[in-house]
Amino acid sequence: MRTVKAAIIGTGFIGPAHVEAARRLGGVEFAALAEAGRELAERKAAALGIPRACGDYRDVLADPEVEVIHNCTPNRMHFEINRAALRAGKHVISEKPLAMSSAETRALVAEARKAGVLAAVDFNYRSYPVVQEMRAMAADGRLGDLFLAQGSYLQDWLYLDTDYNWRLEPRLGGSPRAVGDIGSHWFDLFRHVTGQEIVAVSADFRTVHETRRRPRKAVETYAGRNLRPADYERVRIETEDCATIQFRTDSGAIGSLVVSQVSAGRKNRLYIELSGSKSALWWDQERPNELTVGRREKANELLIKDPALLSPAAAAFAHYPGGHPEGYPDGLKNLCREFYARVRDPKLRREPAAFATFLDGHRELAICEAVRESARRHAWVKVRG
**How many Cβ atoms sit within 10 Å of the Cβ of residue 69?**
27
Are 116 and 212 in the same domain? no
Q: Give the end of a domain, one of 86, 121, 156.
A: 121
Question: Mean pLDDT, to the nearest integer, of 12-34?
Answer: 97
238's CB contacts (< 8 A; 6+ apart) are: 170, 175, 207
Helices (H), the chain: 14-23, 38-48, 57-61, 78-87, 102-115, 129-139, 170-173, 178, 184-194, 312-315, 328-344, 358-377
pLDDT in tens, 90-141: 999 999 999 999 999 999 999 999 999 999 999 999 999 999 999 999 999 9
d(CA 168, CA 90): 31
Tell whether 61 and 155 lie within a shared domain.
no
DSSP assignment, residue 225? Answer: G
The DSSP H or E segment spanning 213 is: strand 211-215
Last residue of a domain, one of 104, 121, 138: 121
Q: What is the residue range of 315's domain?
A: 126-325+351-355+361-377
Same domain, 370 and 222: yes
Q: So what's the pLDDT on residue 228?
A: 83
The whole-number pLDDT of residue 218 equals: 74
Mean pLDDT value across the chain: 96
Can you give the pLDDT at residue 229?
A: 83
Assess if residue 155 is contained within a domain.
yes
Query: Residue 222 has what pLDDT?
Result: 57
Rounded to whole angstroms, how far apart are CA atoms 184 and 363? Answer: 10
d(CA 175, CA 370): 11
Who's near 131: CB < 8 A, 6+ residues apart? 125, 189, 192, 193, 283
Cα radius of gyration rounded to whole Å, the chain: 21
The answer as to whether 342 is a domain residue is: no
Q: Are residues 140 and 46 in the same domain?
A: no
Rounded to whole angstroms, the Cα distance separating 192 from 13 reads 25
CATH number at residue 321: 3.30.360.10
pLDDT of residue 219 exceeding 80:
no
Binned at pLDDT 50, 70 and 90, residue 221 comes out as low
| Final residue in a domain of this structure, among 121, 146, 178 | 121
Residue 225: pLDDT band (50, 70, 90) is low
Task: Provide the number of structural domains found in the chain.
Answer: 2
